Amino acid sequence: MKGTQHSTLKIQNSSINSPIRSSTLLTHPFKPIIDKTSEILILGTFPSIKSFENDFYYSHPKNQFWKILALIFNEKEPKTIKEKIEFLKKYKIALWDTICECTRDKGNSRDDNLKNIKPCHLENLLKKHSNIKKVAVTSRLAENVIKKYFKNSSFSILHSSLYLPSPSPLNARINLNEKAKKWKKLLQ
């Protein structure tokens, strides 16, 4: 699998190095985690502030993404970036986001604070990786980005993306075990 693009936060039109200021144009800091064996592409929206700080996807300690996958596959939860990449590869899961550039209103990572959205090049990724058989999203905003920006896509797999209940701790309507059950049903 390709490794992450460990880099500092890329900022345009601002001299302040923070992913919080609303006037700051943020650029997605990570490459997709994908290889020729990947079959399921899971798409989030855009990295959280904690993910920027920790240089990897779903890095907020309260986010349940890695816990859910560990439950589904009856595995120990991966902790390090290396363990997470190996876990994804083992289960043929690719990982990326739907938004590659945006501004973030207010000082938090909520999806409704993402503005001035520019989508990632999902069609280019799917063209390079025809081995992807299923696309799933982890938020309603990710789902809406696909519907808005890829409604005329020749990649039908984008039109049939699966909605996975958000792993965010803000999604408290469904407990961890229920989320894992729903994810397992959709991913298999």
Q: Which amino acid is at 114?
A: L
Instruction: List, as own/partner pairs, every contact residues 56-60 make where C-beta atoms lie below 8 angstroms and the sequence separation is at least 24, other chains included.
Output: 56/4, 56/30, 56/81, 56/84, 57/30, 57/33, 57/84, 57/95, 57/97, 58/167, 60/109, 60/169
Among positive and negative, which fits the CA dihedral 84, 181, 169, 74? negative
| Closest residue by Cα to residue 46 from 158, 135, 173, 168 | 168
- The secondary structure element, H or E, covering residue 181 is helix 176-187
Beta bridge partners of 115: 103
- What distance in Å separates the CA atoms of residue 163 and residue 183, rounded to the nearest whole number? 9
Question: Is 63 one of the catalytic residues?
Answer: yes
Q: Which of 76, 101, 121 is nearest to 26 (CA)?
A: 101
| Amino acid occupying residue 12 | Q
Total residues belonging to the chain? 188
Q: Catalytic: which of 17, 63, 116, 175? A: 63
Which residues are tagged catalytic? 63
